[in-house]
Amino acid sequence: MEHIKNLLNKRVKQSGLSSSINNALIIEEFVRIIKEIWGEKIALKIKPLYIKNRILTIACLSTVISQELILHKREIIARINKKFKSEIISDFRLII
């Protein structure tokens, strides 16, 4: 008899939702890291939009905050990749 976890994983993969679920988890982790570094107030001005070809696209309401993101880029990417135990994100792109 199979465990329900294994059955669910198979169904998710078959339905094509696996990629969407992973992207949502990555975006959630990005938001958590941003809140940890700068707090809730700044996190409200940063919105991760989508992931394509291992590049996370982020909308930012402030040029000052976008510069801070650039300064912390390596750290943020490293923390995301460490969490998922894979080089799941290689870069991020900012839309200001």
Q: Check residues 94 and 14 and name the one with the higher pLDDT.
A: 94
The pLDDT value given to residue 2 = 64
> What range does the domain containing 79 cover?
4-95
Q: With cut-offs at 50, 70 and 90, classify the pLDDT of residue 19.
A: confident
User: Which residues, including other chains, have CB under 8 Å from residue 34's CB and lie 6 or more apart?
Assistant: 42, 43, 46, 76
CA distance 36 to 43: 9
- Which pLDDT tens digit goes with each residue over 25-50? 999 999 999 999 999 999 999 999 99
How many separate domains does the chain show? 1
The pTM of the full predicted model, rounded to 2 decimals, is 0.80
Q: What is the CATH number of the domain that holds 46?
A: 3.30.300
